[in-house]
Amino acid sequence: MTAQIDKTPWQGILPATATPFDENNQVSERAMLALMERNLKEGAAGFFIGGSSAECFLLSHQERIRTFEIAAEMKGQTRLAAHVGALGTDEAIDLAKAAKGLGFDLISATAPFYYKHSMDAIARYYTDIFQAVEIPILIYNFPGNTGVEFDLSHPAIRKLLASGAIAGVKHTNRDLYQLERFRDRNPDLLLFCGFDEILSGAEAMGCDGAIGSTFNFMLPHYLKLWNACKRGDRDAVLSLQHSANVIMETIVSIGLIPSIKAILRMQGIDMGLPRRPFLPVTPEQEKQIAQVLEQYPEK
């Protein structure tokens, strides 16, 4: 079995779905499905479940699986990718098996971090996951958080990318040169932009779609940006990316995940509080967020 997949259904914008919590700090099925249903109506091409925006490494193992179970209720209506990355291969495989059993279309994994693994060990991690479940894998390339810089010239990584185990890359990295180099190593890879603030640049470098956090609350805006990129409307691209980035700059300065939860609450979906040690948005910060959203309404 190889990881080659039909790229066409995945081309577009996929929210990296946030994890809602109820008043008891438990994963809220009601709120998660409400958010996914809204995003689907707005035009989401699919969903990325259990990633950084989902506070994945602040969830217990069972809570991560619980988010997969909830998302799987949307199976048949959309495409689903599950993030299964972990510090250890065995845990990643266990999560991958859960996603497979629930009918997910793709799995994704950050490189193993904290310990400084060699490129040979990292390549083996992905190979072991694939051999255990035989589901196409997206490498979740997020060096800013993992501290892992993929060496695309390393023989083990070159072999991995050509092995059939890897379907594509979620490129959460502002290095667009590296995005193009992934394509060079294997032209069949499915490439996603993972940083919303460089979507237009990543599209120009040949990405097939985008997976992002702010798509949770401003998906229509990014669909307009994506479509402007596709038709080559440079003025619209620059304007739409600019307004998105002003919003991004504001919420990142406050705290990305707490801000996303606050905005979704403003929009009528109660996501609860972010997991500690994240701090909730203060009333003053919420006013600041509201002001920037008013200043740059969807065009």
What is the C-alpha separation between 58 and 22, in angstroms, rounded?
A: 15
Cβ atoms of 5 and 188 within 8 Å: the answer is no
Active site residues: 140, 170
Q: Which amino acid is at 188?
A: D
Token duo for residue 38? 């809204």
Instruction: Give the Cα separation of 67 and 146 in Å (integer).
Output: 22
> In the chain, what is the greatest distance between 2 CA atoms, to the nearest angstrom?
54
Along the 299 residues of the chain, how does pLDDT read in single tens digits?
A: 566 678 888 999 999 999 999 999 999 999 999 999 999 999 999 999 999 999 999 999 999 999 999 999 999 999 999 999 999 999 999 999 999 999 999 999 999 999 999 999 999 999 999 999 999 899 999 999 999 999 999 999 999 999 999 999 999 999 999 999 999 999 999 999 999 999 999 999 999 999 999 999 999 999 999 999 999 999 999 999 999 999 999 999 999 999 999 999 999 999 999 999 999 999 999 999 999 999 887 64
- Residue 81's identity, in one-letter code, is A
β partners of residue 136 = none
How far apart CA 227 and CA 286 sit, in angstroms, is: 30
Q: Are strands 137-141 and 12-15 parallel, antiparallel or unpaired?
A: unpaired
CB atoms within 10 A of CB 232: 9
